[in-house]
Amino acid sequence: MPDPIHRNADVEYHAPVRELRPETFVHDRARNRQIMRIQGVVPLPIGAEIELYDPNVTATVVGVRLLAGSAHVPVVVCLDVEVPEAYWEAR
């Protein structure tokens, strides 16, 4: 009988391998808008604060996601943040 890692008794299942993009997306989850991309993988913990400038406000990490990608799109780390309204009012 096949188990979860085998397609059938004779063929072993091999999970797809995906490339990791060396960037981190910072995303305002409530407004569904990207704030920035960081060059490098920065998986901050929930509750971490990111100081934004122009205007100077603090965004708080409320979620960390791994965007799974595909054969043609690399995997990327995404930080979901809460951002004060003042940040968007200044834009």
Nearest to residue 33, comparing CAs of 89, 88, 90, 75?
A: 88
Write down the pTM of the prediction: 0.81
Over 80: is that where the pLDDT of 10 sits? no
Q: Taking the domains of the chain in order of start, what are their residue ranges? A: 20-89
Write out pLDDT tens, residues 13-64: 788 889 999 999 999 999 999 999 999 999 999 999 999 998 999 999 999 9
| Residue 86 pLDDT | 93
Element (H, E) at 49: strand 49-52
Interatomic CA distance for residues 48 and 76, integer angstroms: 19
Is the pLDDT score of 9 beyond 90? no
- What is the arithmetic mean of pLDDT over 4-20? 74
Residue 70, H or E segment:
none
Integer Cα distance of 15 and 1 in angstroms? 19
User: Edge-to-edge strands of the sheet including 75-82?
Assistant: 33-39, 20-28, 75-82, 57-67, 49-52
